[in-house]
Amino acid sequence: MTTELGKDLAAIARGVRAATVAVHDARGRGSGSGVVWDARGLIVTNAHVVRGRGAAIEFHDGRRLRAALVARDEDLDLAALRVEGTGNEFAAARVRDSASLMPGEFVVAVGNPHGIPGAVATGLVHRCNARWVISDVKLAPGNSGGPLVDAGGRIVGINSMIARGLALSVPSDAVVAFLRAVRTGSRAA
């Protein structure tokens, strides 16, 4: 049983790593993680990870590309970046409706804590509301902006911070609404 669980977890992590990036603030004020949201190079991360007008993005396969800030929402702690240039195809994340999450569900965080690329942490959902997915996943500096995924490898949140020992992640539903506002032009950088 343990061997099968380990293989399943490794498969989830492998799939999510392909859509997880390292985000380095252009001003050199820090770094964190991000998620490739679409195959054309839209990256979602936390607003506190990207303070300037752009970032250097480091992909799972070793590519390093520049990205420009498209939109930021400090209240939601979200930022959207677009990889500069054309002709690139990227492995994009799959997304799940976070409103369907239940307490006790298994979740996985993938990111770059302390500069360790593709690190994995696991836990259980404690609660999910419109503002946060709250879990007992152990996050560390560098996990910010990275994906929180369900047992099927689908994004349910963007990891943001630790509060009172619990991980707080922006729900995927809030990310979808944020990106919808970006597309319609009602939200910009």
- Would you please indicate which residues are annotated as catalytic (active-site) residues? 48, 77, 144
Are 105 and 97 spatial neighbours (Cβ–Cβ below 8 Å)? no
CB count in 10 Å sphere of residue 86: 7
Token pair of 118 as six digits: 């593709």
Token pair of 101 as six digits: 């999450």
Residue the block writes with tokens 């696991």: 122
Residue the block writes with tokens 């498969």: 11
Are 56 and 50 spatial neighbours (Cβ–Cβ below 8 Å)? no
Residue among 165, 169, 131, 129 at smallest CA distance from 149: 169
Token pair of 159 as six digits: 């990891």
